[in-house]
Amino acid sequence: MSIIYNLEKFVIDQMFRPYQSIIVTEDFQAKEKIKKIENQLRRNPEMIMSILNSNKNAYRLVFDRLSRIDFKFYKWLKHPLIDEINKRVLDFRIANTDFKKRSDNNAE
């Protein structure tokens, strides 16, 4: 299990960068826009939720991926975004477990 010590780094490296091509769809000046978004996320990491909420495909992909990764935030790291991430990851883990159970039952 990996322990997350830096929320801003986690948001950029685990939530934004793997799906930046889905989030930033403009080809023209895409690199500049990506750098601008990363700088904004360093100052305001909760901005990732508004970005993901406006792009449902990226939202689903990000939280589905996070639900499959074994991680937790350092116990002294406190931020409202951490609670929101943990809640949504848990929701996806429950949904994935329910889907797997239904699939197993249908296979029989």
Domain ranges of the chain: 2-107
DSSP conformation class of 13: I
> What pLDDT sits at residue 84?
96
Of residues 98 and 21, more confidence is placed in: 21
CB neighbour list of residue 106: distance below 8 Å, 6 or more residues apart: none
> Both tokens of residue 50?
């508004």
Q: Which residue in 21, 91, 89, 83 sits closest to 57, CA to CA?
A: 21
Instruction: State the pLDDT confidence band at 36, using cuts at 50, 70 and 90.
Output: very high
Yes or no: say if 1 and 72 are a contact pair by the CB < 8 Å rule: yes
Quote the pTM value: 0.84
Q: Which of helix, strand or coil describes residue 95?
A: helix
Mean pLDDT of the chain: 90
Of residues 25 and 29, more confidence is placed in: 25
Mean pLDDT across the stretch 84-92?
95
Instruction: State the pLDDT confidence band at 106, using cuts at 50, 70 and 90.
Output: low
